[in-house]
Amino acid sequence: MNPAMLMKMQKELMKAQKELEESIFTGKASGGLVEVEVSGTKKVLGVKINPDAVDADDVSMLEDLIMLAINDAMDQVDVKGESTMGKVTGGMKIPGLF
């Protein structure tokens, strides 16, 4: 790859990375009883809990739903990152990128 192509790829990677970082992903658990919003930098931005998910006698279920929703959102960030970066790199694996 010549230097001009590398520079172009670097610019495209930086643009794709910025777009990913500015994206918001919503993870859901149990049909939306719990929803978690996560940024493209994997920071939790918000948690919504449907009152139907709250059972004082089964707090562990609510904890599990929150965990599942967070993991769902994080997985979406990873998939989007791999897809976006893969388009720029033509599928090449570059260490340090998703």
Domains of the chain, first to last:
23-77 (3.30.1310.10)
The model's pTM? 0.79
**Edge to edge, what strands does the sheet with 44-49 contain?**
24-29, 34-39, 44-49
| Residue found by looking up tokens 């904890």 in the block | 63
Using one digit for the tens of pLDDT, what is the confidence trace for 5-56? 888 888 988 999 999 999 999 999 999 999 999 999 999 999 999 999 999 9
Could you say which DSSP state residue 53 is in?
A: G
The Cα–Cα gap between 43 and 47 comes to 12
How many C-beta neighbours within 10 Å does residue 72 have? 18
